[in-house]
Amino acid sequence: MFKKNFKKIWKAIVRSLAIAFFFTCLFITITYFVCLKKIDTYLVFFNNFTFSGVTEEHKIEIDKLTKELVHYPNYGDQYGTISLPTVGIKVNLYHGDSMSILKRGAGHYAGSYFPSEGGTILIAAHNRREYFKYLPKLNVGDPIVIDTDYGTFTYTVTNGRVETISELEKLDIQHEEEILVLYTCYPVDALGFTDKRYVVYAKLEGVAYES
């Protein structure tokens, strides 16, 4: 008798939890698609189900005497990797930072300079464990390494801080000094969209060109 009642009660509890979970998910879905940032929601949702496409890896050509880049990768091509040795992360680095590119790895903003060009380099990646989730764990003095076909570039972290989107949009894309800027959404464990980014600034420390 007790067993029978226990089974009935247990079934009722499980059913109630399932219904509550379902309605919670439905509420979250409706809130995102109807009330919050609708366009962002639709873009992110459908981007998750789109095919990322095949990318090619193109060698970048460099002038051997002046070390200037003479041929650049196409938008969407992988041209190297970016490593954060302190946290043991290595991510593929692509030219461009569209949503489909960011699904595959780190995206280099096409409106910024390439490593070796002596300007601002802006790179973004998702706050996933295998990408830039551990960016906030970098300290001043930690190394960041960008490895490409034409050379290996080592940078040293000079600053790391939380900025709003509008603050980061004021970043100066200058051509006087080589500055590497990495960013990802913050808080890194946020469940929803966030207007903040964790930004790491680094200066060029050393270059080893490919022979």
Partner 1 sequence: MKKSIFAVIAVALMVGFTNVHAMTEAELQAKLTKAYTINGVTYQADAAQKVQIERYLKENEISASEADFLASQVDEAVAVIAESGAKSISEIPAAYQEKLTAIANKVTDTTGIQFTVADGQVVVTDGSGKTILTAGDSMVKKTNNNNVIVASSLISLVGIAFVARKFF
Measured distance between the N- and C-terminal CA atoms of the chain, rounded to whole angstroms? 83
**Binders in 165-204 for partner 1, by CB under 8 A:** 165, 168-169, 171-174, 183-185, 190-194, 197
Helix (H), strand (E) counts: the chain: 4, 10
Binding mask 56-85 for partner 1 (x = CB under 8 A): -------------xxxx-xxx---------
Which residues fall within 8 angstroms of residue 77, CB to CB, at 6 or more apart?
55, 56, 57, 58, 94, 95
Nearer to partner 1, 83 or 120 (CB): 120
Which of 79, 84, 89, 97 is close enough to bind partner 1 by CB under 8 A? 97
Name the minimum Å distance from CB 4 to partner 1: 26
Confirm if 127 and 133 have CB atoms less than 8 A apart: yes
Rounded to 5°, angle at Cα 164 from 157 and 137: 35
The residues binding partner 1 (CB under 8 A) are: 21-22, 24-26, 28-29, 32, 40-41, 43-45, 47-48, 69-72, 74-76, 96-100, 102, 107, 109-113, 119, 122, 124-128, 132, 165, 168-169, 171-174, 183-185, 190-194, 197
